[in-house]
């Protein structure tokens, strides 16, 4: 068995699970602390190097997260194993999390002593033998996407940029996501080697009150959307007399287009587990729960594995690190309901009931799980807490705005060149994120709007891209920070249709408990549907706005309270599009199907027959001239022909035809 | 609603089905998931067993079973096709894809499973793979998932035809 950093270095070490050493974590890296022995120090040094370059001096990392797996990372992993055997390479093959740069998936990272660590992008299994040979045999990094450092020892180093120089990396502030793509998410040892669990050790030395003080001093606010000060939440929970108390990690990341929590949990799960343990210690809870969204099972698997590892090494269980504090965690996988992200609904779900939210107050901090004081925090918040306890409140508060300190992970998706998750200081402008980090829209597309904050957020027009991303500014612009999902909407999209899309989502996800949300959203949806069919009136717009205000103010929970935002914000910024549908019976973006007609340009048509083959309504037939034509009386306007035509001969025109 | 009385309408649940599931209310979601993994859906008797195991009333478990998207109270197809309806996937064409699938498989309004119980088509919530939008995920009979990124009617048609070929091949 290989000696790991988590093991005792020699017989003199006093640490054991029965009698844990309070300095266990610090001792892993800068030890030994209780005795002095050069051999023990050397053991640590050698192991740290092994973690970086593998036991054989060469290491290949394959990212295994949902995003890279969907792009074929598993096949790449197998190809790496095969090639290593074939070439007879002495190399360690390991898994890692993901950098959050979706546009380079799947990627590979190669490291060897004396060589610059190199990242290869968009790797296909068939590329693997060539890449390995170039790097390890020819010592040539010319084909890499980016290097982590330059050593001058490898060929082709000049041709490849440093990762830290690339705009989408340099402009990020890697605080809570620092380990994503760097460490093996299933290895507690690597987490500890990266500085993990220093936060919990420090919390134990400070005591619960001072831990809460430290979090308050950092200015950390909830990253799940509402922005409530985390230290305050902990303090209120701590002050309650009722016992037992509970802590819950909200990993029910449900906003479409948001995947920062998934990325974090799949890439650096121990940080979340550490954060929840600190929360438990601070509020005085001995049991924690992590509630994970159903659609993200790998997240649950990694967190579960992290819990088991932490138990194995005494970082969960009885008398953690000799502090006298007992704590354990259960990971629960949801079965799919957006409303579970609402804290009182999540509590009901954990109690084995329907996930129905309830009226607040009392807030969960007073009466939560089983009616006991409960602190619920988003997983990014908890990961921030762990990092703050390790690095200190001042470092965290060094970036951000006056009112909101620190960083936030944002996911930029939709009409951009570089879809990904980016961590930036709060207060960074939307434009910086969309244009500099995510690379702006693809060729031929103009940004029309950005949708910030998921279905509860609003659509901000392109003219306001310079707004800074912070809780207060977004709110006054009609959006919300939410979980930090930013969907970039190009000019090929219709804003009425987008508003209708979000209402389709929220009305389907309404739990049904309160009437404003259950009925109100449905009626709002039917009005939008009527408008997209060209049957709307200007009076409908008034009713729509009135309903939106009612649903917003009268709903029981935040789902209904924020669901009208996409409608209100599009009414505010894109009234011209609503009016075009109503007055001219025209959809300016040519999206709403009742208002458009599909035609085939016979000049462009190459008679390949793909449209006719795929048409579900058999509305397309060959003309005498050998080209294809759409019979408008049969056409159902599904748009399949438009999507499959290889030469873009199918086009749309305004008018019902 | 199906018959609530009488147990063996759907066959006996294996003894080990709840192995490792916490015997507490928070185990209910997992217990129901295990039952669904056995039958492909949640028959009343299965819900009753899950409720007994974690110690909540049957009515409460039934309420939970009807509440979440991932539980089905009716039998679903061998291939369960989940079409992501997240924002990025919607903007990039999944509304069209789902309609194509429904028409191509001849699903009537209100039905999600084909007559031969081979395919089910369902809307799904965001899988968080927005870089690959539009995304379609197929839960296959062997329990594995096939993730189809940048889906369009042509690739989906090819996918269905491949499954049909495999099924015909498997039958021989």
CATH number at residue A615: 3.30.70.20
Q: Phi and psi of A341, rounded to 5°?
A: -70, -20
Tell me whether residues A451 and B124 touch, CB distance under 8 A. no
Are the Cβ atoms of B29 and A493 closer than 8 angstroms?
no
- Asked if residues A613 and A622 have their Cβ atoms less than 8 Å apart, the reply is no
Find the CATH number of the domain harbouring A522: 1.20.1440.230
Residues B35-87: tens digit of each pLDDT: 998 888 999 999 999 999 999 999 999 999 999 988 999 888 999 999 998 88
Nearest CA-CA distance, residue B15 and chain A, Å: 22
Tell me how many domains chain A contains: 6
Who has greater pLDDT, A86 or B143? A86
Q: What is the DSSP string of A231-261?
A: HHHHHHHHH---SS-EEEEEE---STT--HH
A155 and A126 within one domain? yes
Per-residue pLDDT band at B92 (split at 50, 70, 90): confident
Q: Which residues of A touch B126 (CB under 8 A)?
A: 254-259, 295
CA distance B73 to chain A (A): 14
Report in angstroms the alpha-carbon separations of A245 from A4, A372, A385, A421, B4.
Answer: 35, 6, 19, 34, 39
Lowest mean pLDDT among A155-159, A597-601, B2-6, B111-115: B2-6
Q: Look at residues A432, A455, A490 and tell me which one is the last residue of a structural domain.
A: A490
Residue A227 scores a pLDDT above 70: yes
Q: What is the chain B residue with the closest CA to A105?
A: B131
Whether A341 shows a pLDDT value over 50: the answer reads yes
* Interchain contact, A332 vs B67, CB within 8 Å: no
Interval A455-496: pLDDT, tens = 889 999 999 999 999 999 998 998 888 889 999 999 999 999
Q: What is the mean pLDDT of residues A365-374?
A: 97
Q: Is residue A203 one of the residues assigned to a domain?
A: yes
| pLDDT-derived band at B3, boundaries 50, 70, 90 | very low
What is the pTM (predicted TM-score) of this model? 0.93
Whether residues A246 and A345 fall in one domain? yes
pLDDT score, position B5: 39
Q: What is the pLDDT of residue B4?
A: 36
* Token pair in block for residue A373: 């004081």
Q: pLDDT grade, residue B172 (50/70/90)? A: very low
Whole-Å CA distances, A265 to A60, A98, A274, A342, B29:
22, 10, 12, 19, 21
Whether residues A320 and A436 share a domain: the answer is no
Segment A527-555 shows an average pLDDT of 97
Query: Which of A347, A352, A620, A652 is the best mutation test for B, with the most CBs of B within 10 A?
Result: A352
In-domain check, residue A108: yes
Residue B6 binned pLDDT confidence (cut-offs 50, 70, 90): very low
**pLDDT, mean over chain A:** 95
SS3 labels along A316-377:
CECCHHHCCCCEEEEEEECCCCHHHHCHHHHHHHHCCCCCCCCCCCCCCCCCCHHHCCEEEE
Interchain proximity B127–A66, CB inside 8 Å: yes
When CB atoms are compared, the residue of B128, B149, B157 closest to A614 is B157
Kindly state the average pLDDT of the residues A90-116.
95
Residue A494's closest chain B neighbor by CA?
A: B91
Of A102, A614, A617, the CB nearest to B153: A614
Check residue A95 and give its pLDDT: 97
Contact B87 A256 (CB under 8 A): yes
- Is residue A1's pLDDT more than 80? no
A23-81 pLDDT tens trace? 999 999 998 999 999 999 999 999 999 999 999 999 999 999 988 988 889 999 999 99
The shortest C-alpha distance from B89 to chain A (Å) reads 8
Query: For residue A177, is it within any domain?
Result: no
* A255 has a chain B CB within 8 A of its CB: yes
Q: Which residues of B touch A529 (CB under 8 A)?
A: none
Looking at the structure, tell me whether residues A248 and A276 fall in a common domain: yes
pLDDT of residue B2: 39
At which of A441, A466, A490 does a domain end?
A: A490
Find the residue in B nearest to A613 (Cα).
B154
Q: B89 pLDDT band (50/70/90 cuts)?
A: confident
Q: Clarify whether residues A103 and A119 are in a common domain.
A: yes
Same domain, A218 and A320: yes
Q: What is the pLDDT of residue A315?
A: 98
CATH number of the domain enclosing A104: 3.40.30.10
ipTM here: 0.88
Same domain, yes or no: A523 and A478: no
Q: What b-and-e string marks burial along A430-459, b requiring 16 or more CB atoms within 10 Å of the CB?
A: bbbbbbbbbbbbeeebebbbbbbbbbbbbb
Sign of CA dihedral B53, B57, B59, B63: negative
Contact list in B for residue A640 (CB cut-off 8 A) is 96, 100, 153
Distance from CA of B116 to the nearest CA of A (A): 20
Nearest to A64 by CA among A305, A249, A237, A286: A305
Contact: A258, B128; criterion CB under 8 Å: yes
Question: Where is the domain boundary, A490, A520, A540?
Answer: A490
Dihedral sign (CA B92, B96, B102, B103) = negative
Residue of B55, B56, B91 to mutate, interface with A, max A Cβ within 10 Å = B91
Closest CA to A4 of A178, A185, A191: A191
Give the pLDDT of residue B11.
64
CATH number of the structural domain spanning residue A438: 3.10.20.600
* Closest-CA distance of chain B to residue A67, Å: 5
Q: Where are the beta strands (DSSP E) in A175-304?
A: 246-251, 287-292
Nearest to B26 among A105, A337, A350 (CB): A350
Stated as kind and residue range, the H or E segment containing A201 is helix A198-206
One domain for residues A304 and A439: no
- B-chain CB neighbours of A338 within 8 Å are 125
**Neighboring chain B residues of A337 at a CB cutoff of 8 Å:** 67-69
User: Does residue B128 carry a pLDDT above 80?
Assistant: no
The pLDDT of B118-126, averaged and rounded, is 91
In a domain, A255, yes or no: yes
Do A460 and A421 fall within a single domain? yes
Check residue B170 and give its pLDDT.
64
| Listed ranges A113-117, A233-237, A503-507, A604-608; the one with the highest mean pLDDT | A233-237
* Residue % of chain A over a pLDDT of 90: 88
- Say whether pLDDT at A549 is over 50: yes
Q: Quick one: pLDDT at residue B131?
A: 78
DSSP state letters, A32-65: --SS--HHHHHHHHHHHHHHHH-TTSEEEEEE-S
> How many Å lie between the alpha carbon of B98 and the closest alpha carbon of chain A?
10
CB pair distance less than 8 Å for B30 and A337: no
Task: Output the pLDDT for position A270.
Answer: 98
Q: What is the pLDDT of residue A497?
A: 95
Name the pLDDT band for B8 (thresholds 50, 70, 90).
very low
Q: How confident is the model at residue B7 (pLDDT cuts 50, 70, 90)?
A: very low
Same domain, A348 and A427: no
> In this structure, is residue A173 part of a structural domain?
no
Question: Highest-confidence range of A293-297, A386-390, A642-646, B134-138, by mean pLDDT?
Answer: A386-390
Interchain CB distance below 8 Å, B131 and A413: yes
Any CB–CB contact under 8 A between A287 and chain B?
Answer: no
Domain shared by A308 and A412, yes or no: no
Q: How far from each other are the two terminal CA atoms of chain B, in whole angstroms?
A: 37
Does residue A593 belong to the interface with chain B, where contact is any CB pair within 8 Å?
Answer: no
Chain A residue with CA closest to B134: the answer is: A414
For residue A590, being part of any structural domain is answered with no
Q: B114: distance to nearest CA of chain A, Å?
A: 16
- Chain B residue numbers with beta carbons less than 8 Å from the beta carbon of A413 are 87-88, 130-131, 133
Q: What pLDDT score does B93 carry?
A: 85
A–B CB contacts, 8 A cutoff, strictly below: 164
A488, A416 contact by CB (below 8 A): yes
Rounded to an integer, the average pLDDT of A156-166 is 95
Cβ-based neighbour number of residue A45 at 10 Å: 10
Dihedral of CA atoms A242, A251, B138, A502 in degrees, nearest 10, equals 100
Answer whether A295 touches B (CB < 8 Å): yes
Q: Which tokens sit at A409?
A: 């992970």
pLDDT at site A385: 98
- Token pair 């919300």 in the structure block, residue: A480
**Residue A43's domain spans which residues?**
1-48
**Domain assignment of residue A201, yes or no:** yes
* Mean local confidence (pLDDT), A207-213: 98
Nearest chain A alpha carbon to B128: A259
Cβ contacts of B128 on chain A, cutoff 8 Å: 66-67, 253, 258-259, 262, 295-296
DSSP per residue, B11-23: -PPPGGGGTT--S
Residue from B16, B24, B111, B135 nearest A295 by CA:
B135
Phi, psi of A317, rounded to the nearest 5 degrees: 120, -150
Q: Is residue A588 part of a domain?
A: no
Does one domain contain both A349 and A208?
yes
Closest residue of chain A to B92, computed from CA coordinates:
A414
Tell me what the mean pLDDT of segment A277-299 comes to. Answer: 96
Mean pLDDT of the A211-216 span: 98
pLDDT digits (tens, 9 = 90+) for A165-192: 999 999 999 999 999 999 999 999 999 9
């Amino acid at each position: 068995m290989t000696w790991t950093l988590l093991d005792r270095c020699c017989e003199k070490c006093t640490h054991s699970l029965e009698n844990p050493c309070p300095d266990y974590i610090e001792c892993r890296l800068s030890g030994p602390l209780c005795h002095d022995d050069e051999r023990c120090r050397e053991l640590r040094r050698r192991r740290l190097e092994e973690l970086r370059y593998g036991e054989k001096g060469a290491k290949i990392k394959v990212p295994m997260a949902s995003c890279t797996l969907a792009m074929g990372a598993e096949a790449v992993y197998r190809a790496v194993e095969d090639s290593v055997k074939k070439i007879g390479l002495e190399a360690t093959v390991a898994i890692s999390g993901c950098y959050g740069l979706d546009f380079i998936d799947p990627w590979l990272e190669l490291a060897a002593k004396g060589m610059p660590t190199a990242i290869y992008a968009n790797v296909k299994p068939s590329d693997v033998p060539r890449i390995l040979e170039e790097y390890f045999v020819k010592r040539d990094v010319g084909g890499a996407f980016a290097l982590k450092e330059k050593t001058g020892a490898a060929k082709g180093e000049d041709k490849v940029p440093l990762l830290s120089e690339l705009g989408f990396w340099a402009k990020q502030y890697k605080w809570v996501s620092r380990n994503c793509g760097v460490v093996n998410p299933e290895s507690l040892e690597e987490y500890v080697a990266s500085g993990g669990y220093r936060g919990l050790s420090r919390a134990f030395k400070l005591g619960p009150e001072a831990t809460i003080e430290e979090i308050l001093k950092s200015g950390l606010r909830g990253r799940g959307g509402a922005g409530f000060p985390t230290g305050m939440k902990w303090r209120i929970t701590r002050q309650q007399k009722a016992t037992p108390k509970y802590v819950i990690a909200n990993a029910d990341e449900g906003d479409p287009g948001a995947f920062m929590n998934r990325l974090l949990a799949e890439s650096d799960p121990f940080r979340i587990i550490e954060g929840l343990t600190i929360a438990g210690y601070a509020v005085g809870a001995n049991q924690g729960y992590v509630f994970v969204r159903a659609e993200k099972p790998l997240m649950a698997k990694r967190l579960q594995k992290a819990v088991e590892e932490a138990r194995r090494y005494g970082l969960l269980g009885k008398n953690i690190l000799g502090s006298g504090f007992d704590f354990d965690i259960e990971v629960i996988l949801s079965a799919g309901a957006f409303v579970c992200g609402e804290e009182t609904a999540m509590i009901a779900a954990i109690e084995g009931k329907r996930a129905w939210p309830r009226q607040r107050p009392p807030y969960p901090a007073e009466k939560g799980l089983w009616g006991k004081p409960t602190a619920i925090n988003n997983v990014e918040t908890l990961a921030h807490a762990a990092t703050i306890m390790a690095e200190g409140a001042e470092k965290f508060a060094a970036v951000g705005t006056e009112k909101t300190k620190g960083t936030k992970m944002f996911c930029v998706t939709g009409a951009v060149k570089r879809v990904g998750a980016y961590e930036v200081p709060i207060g960074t402008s939307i434009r910086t994120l969309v244009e500099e980090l995510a690379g702006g829209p693809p060729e031929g597309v103009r940004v029309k709007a950005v949708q910030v904050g998921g279905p509860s957020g609003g659509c901000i027009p392109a003219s306001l891209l310079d707004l800074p991303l912070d809780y207060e500014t977004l709110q006054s612009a009609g959006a919300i920070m939410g979980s930090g999902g930013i969907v970039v909407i190009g000019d090929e999209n219709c804003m009425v249709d987008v508003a209708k899309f979000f209402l389709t989502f929220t009305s389907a996800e309404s739990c049904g408990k309160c009437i404003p949300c259950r009925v109100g959203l449905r009626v709002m949806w039917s009005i939008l549907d009527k408008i997209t069919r060209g049957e709307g009136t200007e009076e409908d717009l008034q009713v729509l706005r009135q309903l939106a205000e009612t649903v917003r103010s009268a709903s029981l929970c935040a789902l209904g309270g924020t669901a009208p935002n996409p409608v209100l914000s599009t009414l505010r910024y894109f009234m011209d599009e609503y009016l075009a549908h109503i007055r001219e019976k025209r959809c300016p973006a040519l999206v709403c199907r009742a208002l458009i007609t599909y035609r085939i340009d016979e000049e462009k048509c190459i008679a390949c027959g793909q449209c006719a083959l795929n048409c579900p309504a058999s509305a397309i037939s060959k003309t005498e001239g050998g080209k294809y034509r759409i019979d408008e009386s049969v056409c159902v306007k599904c748009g399949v022909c438009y999507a499959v035509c290889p030469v873009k001969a199918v086009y749309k025109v305004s008018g019902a035809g | 609603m199906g018959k609530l009385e009488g147990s063996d309408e759907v066959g006996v649940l294996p003894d080990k089905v709840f192995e490792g599931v916490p015997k507490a209310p928070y185990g209910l979601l997992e217990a129901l998931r295990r039952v669904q993994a056995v039958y492909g859906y949640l028959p009343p008797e299965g819900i009753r067993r899950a409720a007994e195991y974690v110690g909540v009333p049957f009515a409460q478990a039934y309420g939970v079973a009807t509440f979440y998207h991932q539980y089905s109270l009716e039998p679903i197809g061998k291939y369960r096709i989940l079409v992501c309806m997240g924002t990025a996937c919607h903007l990039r064409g999944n509304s069209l894809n789902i309609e194509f699938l429904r028409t191509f498989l001849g699903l009537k309004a209100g039905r999600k499973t084909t007559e031969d119980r081979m395919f089910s088509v369902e809307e799904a919530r965001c899988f968080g793979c927005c870089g690959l939008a539009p995304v379609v995920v197929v839960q296959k009979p062997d329990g594995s998932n096939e993730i189809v990124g940048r889906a369009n009617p042509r690739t989906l048609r090819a996918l269905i035809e491949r499954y049909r070929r495999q099924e015909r091949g498997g039958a021989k």
